[in-house]
Amino acid sequence: MTLLALVLALATAGCTDSDARAYAVPDKVCGVAVDSDLLSPLLPDGQKLTQRAYNAGQESPRCRLSVDGKLVVYLSGDVVPAETDPVKVQDRALVRLGNPAAVDIGDSARVADNGALAVAACTYEGSRRKFVTLVQLQEKTPAKTSERRDALRSFLSAYFPKAMAKQGCGQAS
C-alpha cells in the first residue's frame, strides 16, 4: 500500500493546479445578488475572477466577468420602450449564439448554446417599459452543450428578476 501511495504521489506531483478553480464564485455580480451555485457552472477554472460594471447609458447597465484577464461572461440589462420587441431586435445575435429556443422566463425568453435573453414588461420611472437581460458566454463552459444550456436557463431564471429590480424596473400593472 505504501508503494502505491508513493507512486500516486509522484504521479500527481507533476500535475499543477493551474487548471483548477482558485477563485471563489461570487454571490453578487456587479451589484446584483446571484446564487453562486447557479453562476458556478458558467465559469471556467482559473486563478482570478474580476468583475467590471459600467453603463452604456443610464438605462443600460453592463457587466463583464473575466477569469485570468480573459472575458468569460458578459451581462447586459436594458430598459427599452414598451413597443420594442427585444427578441426580434436580437434575433440575429441569438442565432449567432446557437440554436435559440423559447423558455419560460419573464414575458419572453430564449436560451441558446452560448447565451440567453429574457424580457419582461415593467414600470420604470412611472412609464410602461420593458426590461431586457442578455447573457453571453465567451467560453464553452460547461463543455457539453446541453449542460451549458441548462446552466444558462437556471442562471437567467434566478438572475433576471433581481437585475430588473436593481435597475428600478418594477412589475408592470
Total count of residues recorded for the chain: 173
The whole model's pTM is what? Answer: 0.86
CA distances from 24 to 44, 47, 61, 105 (A): 12, 9, 24, 28
Q: What is the pLDDT of residue 170?
A: 87
Place of cell 508513493: 6
Report domain extents, the chain: 34-167
pLDDT at 7: 37
In order along the chain (173 residues), what is the average pLDDT of each group of 10 residues? 39 49 95 95 97 89 96 96 94 94 97 97 95 96 97 97 93 69
User: Does the N-terminal peptide bond of residue 41 adopt cis geometry, omega within 30 degrees of 0?
Assistant: no
C-alpha 38/C-alpha 10 separation (Å) is 36
Q: What is the pLDDT of residue 19?
A: 63
Contact assessment for residue 34 and residue 43, using Cβ atoms and an 8 Å cutoff: no
Task: Decide: helix, strand or coil at residue 70.
Answer: strand
